[in-house]
């Protein structure tokens, strides 16, 4: 590890966050074999660190913006006054506070923060894509009926099948290494039986809390996407069956300047 740290231009790779000794260094070693030898390994290492940091930050930024928009739109149906600058600020504060809790938890508890979020990252990321596909399919149905809905409908079916299966397993699998609740129950049973070492009681209690928190958040994710999916299907059936108006609220198509010049 000391030799690898020296090659990467670091003092040490122990206790480094962000996957430095695994993901970033592994990518750097692969890229350095394409040319430049060991001398360029440090460059690729820091490039991978920057790439990973930007990836995480953009995911959080996108999730915050989408969450803010959905919360403002939902609350705006009940209170139209929220569809304003003040509503935007209020819903933004709610979403940032939600993220801030996990950040605070990560500072206060070494077992919190990223350890709480990471098990949900894959499910949450792909469920966000499922929401986008629901919106895209609805637009296709409104504009072209069933002609093009398969373009977004097929990947939507795949995402919903995979993500809901994974989410169900993370919630209710009896295997502690897979299910949040099963892992929490196993650790709680060990605490009740007194088989946990005194020095690990606080760590075990934090892990139990994280598992139950992950289970609750995962269940909320699945519930919200289920509501969106059901409402989308209701809209598709109504439009295709003729009982609902195919009203398009999106901005109309405007040919680009280059296309107009060609015409």
| Chain mean position to CA 235 | 26
- Residue 81's pLDDT is 82
Quickly count: other Cβ atoms within 10 Å of residue 135's Cβ: 13
73 and 133 both lie in a single domain:
no
| Chain mean position to CA 63 | 7
- The residue out of 108, 143, 177 marking a domain boundary is 108
- The residue out of 60, 91, 108 marking a domain boundary is 108
- Average pLDDT score over residue span 74-82: 84
Q: CA dist 9 to 5, 27, 34, 37, 181, Å?
A: 6, 15, 19, 14, 42
Mean confidence (pLDDT) of the chain: 84
Does residue 234 sit within a domain? yes
- Residue 256's pLDDT is 75
- Of all residues in the chain, the percent with pLDDT exceeding 70 is 91
Q: Which position has the token pair 């995962």? A: 218
Give the whole-angstrom CA distance, residue 78 versus residue 146.
32
- Residue 171's pLDDT is 93
152 and 28 both lie in a single domain:
no
Question: How many CA atoms, within 13 angstroms, populate the side-chain half-sphere of residue 105?
Answer: 18
Give the whole-angstrom CA distance, residue 214 versus residue 169.
13
Q: Tokens at residue 221, please?
A: 């994710």
Confidence of residue 120 (pLDDT cuts 50, 70, 90): confident
pLDDT in tens, 167-203: 999 999 999 888 999 999 999 999 999 888 888 888 8
Does residue 206 sit within a domain? yes
- Residue 112's pLDDT is 66
The most distant pair of C-alpha atoms in the chain lies apart, rounded to whole Å, by 80
Q: Under a CB-based contact definition with an 8 Å cutoff, are residues 45 and 8 in contact?
A: yes
pLDDT in tens, 39-72: 788 888 888 888 877 777 777 788 788 888 888 8
133 and 61 both lie in a single domain:
no
Residue 6 vs residue 160, higher pLDDT: 160
- Residue 134's pLDDT is 94
- The residue out of 108, 140, 164 marking a domain boundary is 108
Confidence of residue 262 (pLDDT cuts 50, 70, 90): low
In the three-class reduction of DSSP (H, G, I as helix; E, B as strand; rest coil), residue 2 is classed as helix
- Residue 110's pLDDT is 66
- Residue 158's pLDDT is 95
- Average pLDDT score over residue span 72-95: 87
Q: Which residues contact 176 (CB under 8 A, 6 or more apart)?
A: 182, 183, 185, 186
126 and 90 both lie in a single domain:
no
Give the domain extent around 39.
1-108
- Residue 235's pLDDT is 92
Quickly count: other Cβ atoms within 10 Å of residue 57's Cβ: 10
Does residue 255 sit within a domain? no
Q: Which residues contact 38 (CB under 8 A, 6 or more apart)?
A: 7, 32
Count how many domains the chain has.
2
pLDDT in tens, 127-169: 888 999 999 999 999 988 888 999 999 999 999 999 999 999 9
């Amino acid at each position: 590890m000391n030799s690898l740290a020296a090659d990467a231009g670091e003092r040490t790779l122990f206790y480094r966050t962000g996957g430095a000794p695994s993901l970033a260094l592994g990518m750097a070693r692969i890229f350095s074999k394409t040319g430049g030898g060991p001398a360029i390994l440090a460059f690729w290492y820091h490039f991978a660190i920057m790439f990973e940091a930007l990836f995480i930050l953009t995911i959080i930024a996108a999730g915050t913006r989408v969450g803010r928009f959905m919360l403002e739109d939902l609350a705006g149906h009940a209170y139209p006054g929220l569809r304003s600058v003040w509503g935007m600020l209020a819903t933004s504060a709610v979403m940032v506070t939600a993220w801030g809790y996990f950040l605070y938890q990560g500072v206060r508890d070494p077992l919190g923060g990223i350890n709480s979020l990471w098990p949900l990252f894959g499910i949450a990321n792909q469920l966000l894509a499922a929401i986008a596909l629901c919106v895209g399919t609805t637009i296709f149905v409104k504009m072209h009926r069933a002609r093009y809905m398969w373009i977004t409908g097929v990947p939507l079916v795949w995402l919903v099948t995979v993500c809901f299966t994974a989410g169900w397993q993370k919630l209710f699998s009896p295997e502690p290494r897979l299910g949040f609740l099963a892992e929490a129950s196993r650790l709680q049973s060990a605490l009740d039986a007194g088989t946990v070492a005194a020095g690990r009681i606080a760590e075990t209690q934090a892990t139990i809390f994280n598992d139950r928190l992950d289970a609750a958040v995962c269940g909320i994710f699945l519930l919200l996407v289920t509501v969106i999916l059901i409402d989308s299907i209701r809209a598709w059936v109504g439009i295709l069956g003729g009982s609902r108006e195919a009203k398009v609220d999106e901005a109309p198509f405007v040919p680009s300047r280059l296309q107009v010049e060609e015409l």
